[in-house]
Structure 1
Amino acid sequence: MSITDCYRRSIAFTRDILRQPAKTGGGLRFSDIAFFLRFARPIRRAGALALVTTALVSAEKTVLPLSLKIFVDNILLGEAPAPDALLAGAGGILSSLNILVAALLVLGLLTGATDLARNYWTARFREGYAFNLQTALFEHVLGFPLSYFKSQQTGYIMSRLSDDVQILQYTVSQYLPQIVANALYAAFTLVILGALNIRLTLVVLAFIPLYILVNAVFIRRIRAAVHRERERQAYVSRDLAEVISGIDTVKSHAAEDREVHRVSGTLRNMVDARIRSTMLSAFSEYFRVGAMSLMLIAVIWFGGNDVLAGAMTVGDFVAFAVYIMTFAPTVSTFFAFPVVMQPAATSAARLRELFAMQGEPGALPDAGGFVPDTVQGRIEFSRVWFGYGEDTPVLRDAQFVIRPGEVVAVVGRTGAGKTTLINLILRAFSPEKGTITLDGRDLSTLDPRWLRRQISIVSQDLFLFHTTVEENIRYSRPDATAGDVVEAAEKAQIHDDIVRLPDGYQTVVGERGARLSVGQRQRIAIARAFLKDAPILILDEPTSALDLRTEDRIRQTLRDLVRDRTTILVSHRPSLLEIADRVLTIEDGRVRECRIPAPPSLPDLFKGCGDAPLRHGA
């Protein structure tokens, strides 16, 4: 690439990043700031002490440069104390070198002790704030409908929950204490600068509008760039989590290169966004440093002339120059605050979006939702329509009743809508038309947490936590005893397998149960259902991962499990249909009832349904 091409590309890149962004939503409003302040209320005492100690440290550090004036004017040059009332007392008392050194030692020890206290209370406030925020956010997100989690990838959700909170936490721990300290230091310094030379202080203040102008130019551009960066970073987390979760599939298809290429494309987009964000921050920093340099040059010019004219002592000028050397970066950092806060403002706006999302009725402790006293188990679908797209209904005018204590099998070809029907009962989704009731009450009016406590599920989509076998079985009933767990495992025909594990019931199963076979994981899910002992039972392919011998042994166990429970059985195994009282088939979105042939077979069921209407239960 020629030098001319490089120059042109650099100009084009600069124009691109400095282009005024289109007005975007998601900015942080004052009401949003007030919203995030509520997480600081439980720790306001720590915040107040952090603020007080920060003010003390700033005041103590501000006094230090005055020692140079006293050292030059009163000790080296032997001049009389300054006529200014603010400085005359200090100059007179500290006119001895020994006393000045002793005072500086005492000031250093005091500043160090105060700074330690400041660090402690700042850390208490920072960690307490992050704890309150992340706990509230996690609780809020867990209240989202199941449809949200089914429509979003895990990596993207984790990025929103962790990355944005970490950025906000870093801001609370680093930038906010720094901006408070800088603001106090600047205020104290201006008072002392005014006492040293009011005319030179006005020269310094004349540069403040220049900092404000730099911020006005860059804030919106940086905010837009950071927002793009955050979104693309979430996409990277999404893709990485997906690949790692599906590593078995990736390996079995030798698709490593393909996945690296796919993820690298997402990474490239994030890198481009990050470069633009970095360069915008660099440009703003460049102009702020330029303003600071001009301020120093002006102080040297005007202050030097005052010293030469005898209007200012050498000690005053030395002290003033030292103050400016610390004051200028402090002011630069202070006015850079709106710019460096843009990543935090973007993360806060994204978190505010999550908090603004509505959860399920009754999903949060303070939300509504009816809780019946008893459960009979009568489930009724009344003219229910549902689809994942506007033109593709999965269920069409579904109308049927499952009576209390009845075992109803649901069959149909892959993709017919069997899992959709279960998700509707669990309120993962809501019907587009019609109603679903439990004991005559619309599911949409019930507390979803209470509803799911009344349902035991043995699903083909197995999930075990990275903990012990015992804890995984007990997950359905945390207060169960060890004896209850063993009894449930015996009923599920998994006890003998468990005791042969290295640590028995205390064996850690690995992530998603990776150390167990699929059949073992499925029987642990059945043990959970036995332990939960809920009045409604959903069996979604409960023996799909079992061999025929194990399935034969567990069939009688399932007979015991479904006894006196309202049970919905989804299975492609004809042998399991023996435990069903009735069979519903789903075909082309229509739910119909079929007679159970003897011996049962799925082809016979599909042939036998025809157009016979569904018989409603009482």
Structure 2
Amino acid sequence: MSIADCCRRAVAFTRDTMRQPVTARNDLRFPDLAFFLRFARPIRNVGVLALAATVLVSAAKTVLPLSIKFFIDNILLGGTETSDALLAGAGGLLSSLDTLIAALLVLGLFTGGMDLLRNYWTARFREGYAFNLQTALVEHVLDFPLSYFKSQQTGYIMSRLSDDVQILQYTVSQYLPLIVANGLYVTFTLAILCILSLKLTLVIAAFIPLYLLINAVFIRRIRAATHRERERQAYVSRDIQEVISGIDTVKTHAAEEREVTRVSGTLARMVDARIRNTMLSALSEYFRIGTMSLMLIAVFWVGGSEVLAGGMTVGDFVTFAVYVVTFAPTVNTFFAFPVVMQPAATSAARLRELFSMDGEPAGGGVVPAAVLGRIELSSVWFRYTESEPVLADANLVIHPGEVIAIVGRTGAGKTTMINLLLRAFAPQEGTITLDGRDLASLDPRWLRRQVSLVSQDIFLFHTTIEENIRYSRPGATFEEIVKAARKAQIHDEIMRFPEGYRTIVGERGTQLSVGQRQRVAIARAFLKDAPILILDEPTSALDMQTEEQICRTLRLLVRNRTTILITHRPSLLTIADRVVAIEDGRVREQQGTDLPPEPDTGRIRRSGQSAAT
């Protein structure tokens, strides 16, 4: 591509960037800003100390350039008078070079020491604020219903929880202290400039509307571009997390190139959004620097004319010029603040969106004194989309202490029924009751504490085997953990590991075999000892011998508790008191299953029954 083509593409890209929609959804409003102040309340004393130190440091830095006036007018030129009484009095005290040098040393030591304290208190405030914000956010998100997590991908949620908080934290740690310091410096400097020359100060003030105009042009465009960038960055995190989580599938299908192409496409869209955002910021900075240059030219022109006409002393003008040279970048940063704050405002709006989402009621539902275990589905309808319902007028009664097996083809609605029982979703029509109480009226956390679930989709935390089993009952003793592991037929294998129960299982339990992970999950259910037990293909990854051992143990586990068993394994079906099938969204009763597990003829009959269902 030629240089001319590159230039034409750059101009077209810039023009297109400036034509972007200027309306950003989820704009941050004043009540939202007030909402985020709540996280600063526990550390407000540290914030006050940081602010006070900032005021003192800014004041000290503002006074420092005045030493140039005293040096020129009072020492070099022998005490030129000034029209301001305050400056004249200070000039009298600093009329000797030794006194001026001593004052500068004291001022430097004070400024340096106070600046160290300011940095310390600012860091404490920054980290405390980020801690309070992220803790509250994680607590709030964990209260979301299970349906939210089942409908969103993990990488997208992680981006919302981490990236936006980091951007807001960076803003609190970098831009807010900077804008406070610059604001104070601008205020103090303007006061001194008015004393030195009101006429030149008015020249500076004349350029403020131009800064405001630049901000008005760019702020909403940058906010919209930043929102697009954040969303596309979340999509990149989502896709990468999905590829890493499914790396076994990617490798076995030799799909590396395919996944790279998919991720690179998402990444390219994010890069395009990031470039557009960068271009908008660069253009706004270009116009602000141009305004600052015009302001400096105007000051030198008017100020130089004043000195030549005798309206200002050389010391006053040199001091004014030094203030303007240091003041102009500060003013530029001050007026750039609304623009550079747009990424933080976008992140804050996205975080506010999460905080505004309703979670499950914590402690707001009924908490019965005891659980009998009677579960009833009455005319339950449920669909995920506008397509065919997964459950259509489903009716089922499970009596206390009964073991019921649920069979049906893949996608028939077996797992959906379990999710409804756990209140991951709510039925669109009909009711589900526990001991005569609608599940919607019960405290969801209490409800889930009454259920032990062994799912075929096993999740183990990246910690020890002991802690993974203890997860269902944090107060359990080590002896109780070992007892549960023995019942799950996993104790002997655990003891063969060099670290025994302290063996780290790896992320999602990858250091264990599938069968070992399944038995650890079964041990976790044994330890919980809840009155309701749900077994979703609990032996799908076990060999025949281990399955026979687990079946004998499960017969003990299901005693005196309501059990829902989802399986097609013949040996497990013999545990059930009855079998029901889900067909076309409806629950249909099958014949009883009170057949002896032995001999093999019983197994053949049960296998045939399973096939029929």
Q: TM-score, normalised by structure 1?
A: 0.96
Deviations 1:221-265 (A, max 9, x none): 101100000000000000010001011111111111111111000
Deviations 1:189-236 (A, max 9, x none): 001001111111111111111100100010111011000000000000
Instruction: Report the residue type matching 2:164 in the other structure.
Output: D
How many angstroms does 1:95 deviate by?
A: 1.2
Distance 1:560 1:213, change over 3 A: same
Q: 1:601 aligns with which of 591, 597, 606?
A: 606
Instruction: Report the residue type matching 2:606 in the other structure.
Output: S
- Secondary structure in 1 matching 2:368: coil
How many angstroms does 1:336 deviate by?
A: 0.6
Pairs within 5 Å for 1:158-237: 158-237=158-237
Instruction: Report the residue type matching 1:136 in the other structure.
Output: A
> Percent identity at matched positions?
75
Please name the residue that 1:348 is paired with: 348
Please name the residue that 1:501 is paired with: 497
How many angstroms does 1:533 deviate by?
A: 0.6
Pairs within 5 Å for 1:408-487: 408-487=404-483
Looking at structure 1, the residues matched to 251 and 314 of structure 2 have their Cα atoms a distance apart, in angstroms, of 75
Q: Does 1:515 pair with 2:520?
A: no
Q: Name segments (4+ residues, structure 1) moved above 6 Å.
A: none
Instruction: Report the residue type matching 1:200 in the other structure.
Output: L
Deviations 1:14-64 (A, max 9, x none): 211111515342100111111111111111111111111111110010000
Looking at structure 1, the residues matched to 81 and 495 of structure 2 have their Cα atoms a distance apart, in angstroms, of 89
Q: Does 1:555 pair with 2:551?
A: yes
Pairs within 5 Å for 1:23-62: 23-62=23-62
CA contact (8 A) 1:585 1:606 kept: no
CA contact (8 A) 2:24 2:220 kept: no
CA contact (8 A) 1:288 1:332 kept: yes
- Secondary structure in 2 matching 1:388: coil
CA contact (8 A) 2:22 2:220 kept: no
* Segment of structure 1 superposing worse, 11-20 or 457-466: 11-20
Instruction: Report the residue type matching 1:523 in the other structure.
Output: R
Looking at structure 2, the residues matched to 596 and 20 of structure 1 have their Cα atoms a distance apart, in angstroms, of 67
- Secondary structure in 2 matching 1:385: strand
Ranges in structure 2 where 5+ consecutive residues have no aligned partner: 596-601
Please name the residue that 1:144 is paired with: 144
* Segment of structure 1 superposing worse, 554-563 or 76-85: 76-85
Ranges in structure 1 where 5+ consecutive residues have no aligned partner: 610-618
Pairs within 5 Å for 1:402-413: 402-413=398-409
Looking at structure 2, the residues matched to 438 and 404 of structure 1 have their Cα atoms a distance apart, in angstroms, of 10
Looking at structure 1, the residues matched to 187 and 550 of structure 2 have their Cα atoms a distance apart, in angstroms, of 78
Instruction: Report the residue type matching 2:322 in the other structure.
Output: V
- Secondary structure in 1 matching 2:79: coil
How many angstroms does 1:3 deviate by?
A: 4.5
Q: Does 1:329 pair with 2:329?
A: yes
Q: 1:566 aligns with which of 562, 568, 591?
A: 562
CA contact (8 A) 1:229 1:270 kept: yes
CA contact (8 A) 1:594 1:605 kept: no
How many angstroms does 1:139 deviate by?
A: 0.8
Q: Does 1:67 pair with 2:63?
A: no
Looking at structure 2, the residues matched to 425 and 505 of structure 1 have their Cα atoms a distance apart, in angstroms, of 33
CA contact (8 A) 2:79 2:95 kept: no
- Secondary structure in 2 matching 1:601: helix
CA contact (8 A) 1:595 1:605 kept: no
How many angstroms does 1:88 deviate by?
A: 1.1
Looking at structure 2, the residues matched to 81 and 495 of structure 1 have their Cα atoms a distance apart, in angstroms, of 94
Please name the residue that 2:129 is paired with: 129
CA contact (8 A) 1:168 1:348 kept: yes
Looking at structure 2, the residues matched to 22 and 571 of structure 1 have their Cα atoms a distance apart, in angstroms, of 55
Instruction: Report the residue type matching 1:404 in the other structure.
Output: P
Looking at structure 1, the residues matched to 337 and 552 of structure 2 have their Cα atoms a distance apart, in angstroms, of 69
How many angstroms does 1:82 deviate by?
A: 2.4
Instruction: Report the residue type matching 2:547 in the other structure.
Output: E
Please name the residue that 1:398 is paired with: 394
CA contact (8 A) 2:23 2:221 kept: no
* Segment of structure 1 superposing worse, 378-387 or 595-604: 595-604
Instruction: Report the residue type matching 2:15 in the other structure.
Output: R
Deviations 1:544-565 (A, max 9, x none): 0100010011111111111111
Distance 1:602 1:588, change over 3 A: farther
- Secondary structure in 2 matching 1:393: coil
Please name the residue that 1:612 is paired with: none
Looking at structure 1, the residues matched to 320 and 109 of structure 2 have their Cα atoms a distance apart, in angstroms, of 24
Q: Does 1:300 pair with 2:300?
A: yes
Deviations 1:338-380 (A, max 9, x none): 10000001001111111111112x2x3xx51111111111100
Question: Between Structure 1 and Structure 2, how many residues are aligned?
Answer: 604
How many angstroms does 1:11 deviate by?
A: 2.5
How many angstroms does 1:4 deviate by?
A: 4.4
RMSD: 1.2
- Secondary structure in 2 matching 1:48: helix
Looking at structure 2, the residues matched to 240 and 81 of structure 1 have their Cα atoms a distance apart, in angstroms, of 71
